Structure 1
Amino acid sequence: MPLSSDRPYTTVVLAMSADGKIADAQRSPARFSSLQDKLHLERQIAAADAVLFGAGTLRAYGTTLRVSQPQLVQQRHEQNLAPQPVHIVASCQGNIDRQLRFFRQPVPRWLLTTNAGAKQWQGKEFFEQVLVCETAGATGIDWTCAMAKIASMGLSRLAVLGGGEVVAAMLAADLIDELWLTICPVLLGGNTAPTPVDGTGFAAIAAPRLELLSVNAIAQEVFLHYRRQN
């Protein structure tokens, strides 16, 4: 459960190639993981009150992953949860194609953005909530403010599904509690291919440290579960 009522307990869930890439250099949709990994991802989504992903991730796929397995739908019902978690898109500028199939999926949709990004969406029916949290100088999203606002709206468990810039920003603000990383048997390479943690990077002495909780090899994939060390 949350370390503090000021923010949700946050878990990153990502699949990556054996050389640490979450997509190819063209940032194509990552289709290299197995059905087993998709089922794993859906279980993590089903356990969350909300999922969060960047606009780049949404543009790549055009959709989000809903909870569809009957046992997971029943599990949420028994826990008095809504059939689907809230799906939160993070976008500084709010530049999202309104024709994406995402906007026709039966899920609750929220937008996390800045004042500038909110202007084109407020008063529209595309998002049920538009959350505005911007850094000083309006250069980006204030993630500490964002997590506090999400928690204040009753969401205590958050799954972060990408991309690397979002994960990097949240790690830098010390807002990540756990990570699930699936290693897939493919090599993508590429200097510009995204990784689980992009951004400017961390100096080795200040790099976030992890505690390994479990390792599970299924067929050709390895499922790693980490907890962020304090």
Structure 2
Amino acid sequence: MTVLPPSIADLSDDDLLDHYTDGVPDGPWLRVNFVATLDGSASASGRTASLGGDDDLRVFDLLRRVADVVLVAAGTVRDEEYGPMVLRDEDVAWRREHGMPDHPVFAIVTNSGSLDASSRVFTEAPVRPVVLTSADGAASSSGRALASVADVVECGPAAVDVGAVRDALAARGLDRIHCEGGPSFLGALVAADAVDELTLTIDPSLEGGEGPRIATGSSPELRRMRPVHVLLGDGGVLLTRWVRAR
């Protein structure tokens, strides 16, 4: 006997948003969004683009729609070739109807401050981005250049303190934090016990190569999560949501 979860095809966007916002409290909430293969690879041929399919992209866009800030580590911004944080017209319309700014803030984490201030991420941003870096990174030549195109926020002396990242965003009124990676940054968040929610798309494929896990690094203990939902996407993709067990 085959038992499958509900199909995402049967849910409207509003239905999906209800699934992904149910139980999210007022105040700071850090959600992490990843895709992985059945054998645990967070990429295929070094990129995530071929994993997850259209249903994963649908959820991805909806999660950005409800976010105050999209948080990404600098390595992922470079590897995935991010552009400016510009939402689709339908997402902007939804945010206006719900009293939100047109676009979420784009927040980038970098220990060194080594980001190109002339990148489209900054020059074409609809909202001034935030760069979360160390004191050393802010004082570097690239960090000083970034101050002309972004708000540069110090979150530690020589390296970024991920707990300070969350506090710095909350202090700016950016409570609903949507984090898109990468693996090293997620590992640091796990170690700091800073993850409230993981939305994980499981692609029904075996990568069988040397792709990274969704989180790398070490944590002093297991961080227990509990399942909230599992939805079935096209081609056997599973879209799962997990929140803190406590």
Same-fold status (TM-score > 0.5): yes
Q: Percent identity?
A: 26
Q: What TM-score results when the alignment is normalised by the length of structure 1?
A: 0.85
Q: CA deviation at 1:32?
A: 2.4
Stretch of structure 1 that moved more, 157-166 or 69-78 = 69-78
Give 2:70's aligned residue. 51
Q: 1:21 aligns with which of 37, 41, 53?
A: 41
| CA distance in structure 2 between the aligned counterparts of 1:53 and 1:159, rounded to whole angstroms | 9
Q: Mark the CA change 1:154 to 1:59 in structure 2 (over 3 Å): closer, same or farther.
A: same
| CA distance in structure 2 between the aligned counterparts of 1:97 and 1:70, rounded to whole angstroms | 28
Report the residue type matching 2:131 in the other structure: L
Q: 1:10 aligns with which of 30, 35, 42?
A: 30
Q: Mark the CA change 1:101 to 1:128 in structure 2 (over 3 Å): closer, same or farther.
A: closer
Q: Secondary structure at the match of 2:60?
A: helix
1:7-53 deviation digits (Å, cap 9, x = unpaired)? x21101111122111124x6335332212211210100111100101
Contact 2:70 2:105 in 1 (8 A): yes
Q: Mark the CA change 1:199 to 1:91 in structure 2 (over 3 Å): closer, same or farther.
A: same
| CA distance in structure 2 between the aligned counterparts of 1:172 and 1:63, rounded to whole angstroms | 26
Aligned counterparts, 1:48-197, within 5 A = 48-64=67-83, 66=85, 68-108=87-127, 109-119=129-139, 120-122=142-144, 124=146, 127-134=149-156, 138=158, 140-191=159-210, 193-197=211-215
Give 1:222's aligned residue. 238
Contact 2:56 2:201 in 1 (8 A): yes
Contact 1:167 1:198 in 2 (8 A): yes
Q: What TM-score results when the alignment is normalised by the length of structure 2?
A: 0.80
1:109-154 deviation digits (Å, cap 9, x = unpaired)? 110110121122336465431111116xx2x211112211111111
Give 2:7's aligned residue. none
Contact 1:2 1:157 in 2 (8 A): no
| CA distance in structure 1 between the aligned counterparts of 2:214 and 2:148, rounded to whole angstroms | 29
Contact 2:183 2:212 in 1 (8 A): yes
- The structure richer in helix per residue is 2
Report the residue type matching 2:200 in the other structure: L
Give 2:11's aligned residue. none
Contact 1:62 1:101 in 2 (8 A): no
Report the residue type matching 2:110 in the other structure: S
Report the residue type matching 2:238 in the other structure: V
Note the residue ranges of structure 1 that are not aligned, 5 or more in a row: none
| CA distance in structure 1 between the aligned counterparts of 2:186 and 2:47, rounded to whole angstroms | 19
Q: Mark the CA change 1:35 to 1:64 in structure 2 (over 3 Å): closer, same or farther.
A: farther
Contact 1:87 1:107 in 2 (8 A): no
Q: Secondary structure at the match of 1:122?
A: helix
| CA distance in structure 1 between the aligned counterparts of 2:149 and 2:51, rounded to whole angstroms | 30
| CA distance in structure 2 between the aligned counterparts of 1:213 and 1:64, rounded to whole angstroms | 32
Aligned CA RMSD, in angstroms, stands at 2.2
Contact 1:212 1:227 in 2 (8 A): yes
Stretch of structure 1 that moved more, 148-157 or 125-134 = 125-134
Note the residue ranges of structure 2 that are not aligned, 5 or more in a row: 1-23
